[in-house]
Amino acid sequence: MGVVTTDDRAPDDRAPGDRAPVDRAPDDRAPGDRAPVDRGPGDRAPGDRVPKQDRSRATRRRLLAAAVACLAERGWAGSTVSVVAERAGVSRGAAQHHFPTREDLFTAAVEYVAEERSDALRALFPQGATGDRRAVVTALVALYTGPLFRAALHLWVAASNEEQLRSRVTELEARVGRESHRIAVELLGADESAPGVRETVQGLLDMARGLGLANLLTDDAGRRERVVAQWAGLLDDALG
């Protein structure tokens, strides 16, 4: 018998160890085969680099969130730039690139979260003014009973003793106060052209701040619910 060369074999006449050709339909993949990736224009493959601007914004957000958490938990004295940077998972140099001074970092942090909370409050009532004033009062009071208020309070105390910080915090609180008042007027459907209405809304916000202070040391939820119910009734009478 002569030696059979490759050219002499018929299609089904394979030598031992030869691999049969694979005849698969387009969607018939063997185990381990990778499916083609169908990405939209804005999608990135896992290996693609995140744009520098996006990384910078993400770092800034982490620093702001870490600053608020540190201020609420440690107070002003225990909240240094190094502590915040470590909590945010970035270097001190990166933190100072975004916020050159400690005052820059903490005033920006409280302002950032205040804006986030305002947006969240508006999202609860996307249609604006609502007839359920108790729900509005409850939501407004909630702004003063969370970590933001605790952080802001530490900032106020520090500002009372540090002249450089005082002007920044005073300006910040004025802006936050105006925005809170504007949101309250809108959600309550209050007509400030009527006598006493503006003062009534201001009184509501002052009451909410007082409830926030009372909640710092003990859980004041039970009393707070009764006060909120009473204020909702007073607002119905005052605002019509």
pLDDT at 8 over 60: no
DSSP designation for 6: G
DSSP designation for 8: G
Least confident span in 13-22, 142-151, 203-212, 216-225: 13-22
Q: Tell me what pLDDT residue 49 has.
A: 59
Tokens of 36: 């083609």
pLDDT at 15 over 60: no
Q: Which of 101-105, 164-168, 236-240 has the highest mean pLDDT?
A: 101-105
Which carries the bigger pLDDT value, residue 114 or residue 157? 157
pLDDT at 70 over 60: yes
Q: Is there a contact between 66 and 87 (Cβ–Cβ < 8 Å)?
A: yes
Mean pLDDT throughout 10-39? Answer: 44
Task: Render pLDDT for 32-42 as a digit per residue (tens, 0 to 9).
Answer: 444 444 444 44
In which band, very low, low, confident or very high, does the pLDDT at 88 lie, cut at 50, 70 and 90? Answer: very high
Which candidate, 187, 159, 179, 164, places its Cα nearest to that of 115? 179
User: Which region holds residue 21: left if phi is over 0, alpha if psi is between -120 and 50, else beta?
Assistant: beta
Residue in the block written with tokens 């394979």: 14
In which band, very low, low, confident or very high, does the pLDDT at 198 lie, cut at 50, 70 and 90? Answer: very high
Which carries the bigger pLDDT value, residue 78 or residue 124? 78
Mean pLDDT throughout 110-123? Answer: 81
Residue in the block written with tokens 């240094």: 80
Q: Is there a contact between 186 and 206 (Cβ–Cβ < 8 Å)?
A: no
In which band, very low, low, confident or very high, does the pLDDT at 6 lie, cut at 50, 70 and 90? Answer: very low
Per cent of the chain over pLDDT 70 is: 79
In which band, very low, low, confident or very high, does the pLDDT at 5 lie, cut at 50, 70 and 90? Answer: very low
pTM of full prediction above 0.75: no
Which carries the bigger pLDDT value, residue 202 or residue 3? 202
Tokens of 108: 């920006």
Half-sphere exposure of 202 (CA within 13 A, CB side): 6
